[in-house]
Structure 1
Amino acid sequence: MKDLSVIIVNYNVSYFLEQCLLSVRRAAQKLRVEVFVVDNNSVDGSVEMVQRRFPEVILLANKENLGFSKANNQAIRQAQGKYVLLLNPDTVVEEDTFLKCFRFMEANPAAGALGVKMMDGAGKFLPESKRGLPTPWVAFSKVFGLAALFPASAVFNRYHLGHLPADEVHKIDILAGAFMFMRAEALQKVGLLDEDFFMYGEDIDLSYRIKEGGFDVYYFPETRIIHYKGESTRKTSVNYVFMFYRAMMVFAEKHFSGRQARLYSLLIRWAIYLRAALALLFRGVKQVLPLLLDGLCLVLGALLGEKVVPDPLSLEVSPMWGAYLAVWLGTAFFSGAYDQPTRLYRLVRGMLWGSILLMAFSSIVSVVGETNKKHLLVAVLVGLVGMTLWRLVWHFKTYGHWRFGEPKAKRIAVVGSDKEVKRASNLLRQAGAQEPLARLEPQHTPADLRQIREVIEIYKINELIFCGKDLAVSQIIEWMVQIHNSAVEFKILPENSAYIIGSSSKNAPGDYYALHIEVNLLNPYYRRNKAVLNSLVSALLLVLSPFLIWRINRKRQFLKNCLGNLVGVYQWVGLKATATPESKPAILSPVDKVSGRRISPAAARQMEVIYAKDYTPYADLLILSRNISNLGRSA
């Protein structure tokens, strides 16, 4: 029998998984530990990486994404450990984490599960390390912001148990799914994770059932882990809102009854509508604000032009100015003026094309006189100055310099042995990042921290890289906590890894340095062209439908697909074997390029990776032309 079974469910985060497994390997040295990795059909080489670098790991490679609960249960059913740990791949554990948790559980036979103190990638404590049961009042306080207003209140912030000290052991209600150290005996009594929860809520449900089964659930802060992503899974997305609160409703229907269940259900529905509306509003404002600012600059330019060059078609009486603004902003949009990183030439190109179109139109239809053409010229020139100025101010506020298109200058220091520092430098150079300004070789004395702080101050360091081969995770976490500074980001170079990994906060996805690979399908330019192509093809197919309909197998579905693509709900060609929850439903896939052949799942994934990397609109047109009869498929 093993002392501990560690179970990690992975989906397309090979770089995090590698670092996590390296820390698990170190932490497992003083116990009999078996490690499971359940891969949910990743396409980023995760399976190959585990097979190559961690032959001791028991690898379960699924052919589809089963979700968090089902994947964990797969491994739990095979686990031989006295204790079972569910661990997220975007975590790093200290060298003594497993041993300390094991000894605590051995000393407390009534303990059924425990969680530890979690820190984000910037060394900040994550409040979700300890949570209370989400009763209707607790959920109300969290949903409507009372918990955030009174973070230390026992009344208003019971969701994160803000009144309990973060450095003391406590009995609590709910553990975070990122780290759940559980007694196998407790799991045998209360059952495994509820597979009705695809994502979110399963940790709340299991923690609650363990307590209901007569066991204690503990918050144990005497060891720490880094959890890079914290609670961030695109919280501003509508998809996240619905998935999270739907999980809460499943929990309420399962464990509450009567008036309490009805109240909870009503509250969650309110929360869904409120958060969804806020998410849509936030996204809409974020996307529209640059257009509004540019439109305002053009209006001011037109008003100034009215003073300089009097216009017989003045702003007050001419409805044409709305069309002028639409043309300018439209050509700016399609020229990439709103894509990141900001490039001034895209804005100038968009304004130039817009002006040429307006001048050509005015010459053809004789709507605009010569004076008005001068007015247009003044409006666009003044507007362009205004648009450039607000972009400069925003860029300086964000990045601290005036150079368009250049991100905030990295001022990097690396802590590690000379050999590892050189390796970090090579990786940074290959990734096109800034070379380190300072290098520190730790002596493993209290003076190290003082020296690091002095280097940060002298060289104005804003990124600190720790070499995982030379430093204990516990030491790295301690330095992160002690140095904790909003101006400094922390990253770790794992042993023998090609990635340098880090995250600045729980609400930012973890990032990493690696060799840059351009994926066209992620480029805003190609994504915009793809969306336009979808709509144009749909409009053309609808016009030609009287002639094409006889060739289509499912005629009603074909018309539905045309309308769905026209408004952007579907896409004619997209990813299926490698689709994510954020992907739009696709009628066809790159596999249809070789229609008539049987393609293995592995080959289909490979074809989709190549399609995404080398995408052009021509690729979609080619697939569509070869599959006219299949355009009536269901998405």
Structure 2
Amino acid sequence: RGLLNRREKGSFFITEERSRRALLVGAAADVVRVEGLLRGVWGYPITIAGAVMPPPEPGDPQPQAPWAGPPEQLAALIGLYRADEIIFCQGDYESGQILDQMAQLAERTLRFKIAPPGRDFLIGPQNILTAGGDSGALALNQPGPRRAKRWLDRLVSGLLLTTFPLLFWAYRRPGMAARGLWRSLLGQATLVGYSGGGEGLPPLRPGLLSPLDRLPSPATSLSQDALDQAYARDYHWTQDLDLLLRAWRRIGHQNKG
């Protein structure tokens, strides 16, 4: 089917059986870069319905796609432009903002993809679509980020265990939360791990939370593998801290640690 798709449409994207209507979301420069890749080397079978970005100003790069509206109106623009796919152009648009908007749109039947900054690949619902070349070093392969992650595990686990007698009632499963925090403190678990198995990614201890815990319901439009790839590639300890501030009560809600 892939060869047939290539012959008829000039594309090897087996998972895309028909052209979809997509909105590109991000800053102007990032949208222009991703649009060029989509229309060029990727040959991705979509119709770009519009660009969702801040109002254009003189001197800003302009995409070929029409300006649809600002990112804060994305939910309304999806219906207006009959979009069934959202491509987040990461750059000035950070991972936290992307996940927050995905959470707001979780109940809709949409496909989400993320185009990382300065990289020639697109994280899709079940795979990573590349334009060739090196996908770049993963941050979690570097000693500095791994060391920072371990120190954050120790500090936050110690703090949460110290306050546990006062806050145990706030956890969904207090017993499992206490066990997981002790394991994190001892280096047998990590506070934030992968959503899935993390195949092919830098190894991590079992996680008490994962990037999926940002979302109010299971993410069906973006696979666990895609979230884990983004997490490993762009890791910074502040991402873990932000997630913990949002979701610490969920520690222990699943038997991960």
Q: From the two aligned structures, give the one with the greater helix fraction.
A: 1
TM-score (norm 2): 0.45
Between structure 1 and structure 2, the one with the greater Rg is 1
More relative contact order, 1 or 2 (CA 8 Å, 6+ apart)? 2
TM-score (norm 1): 0.19
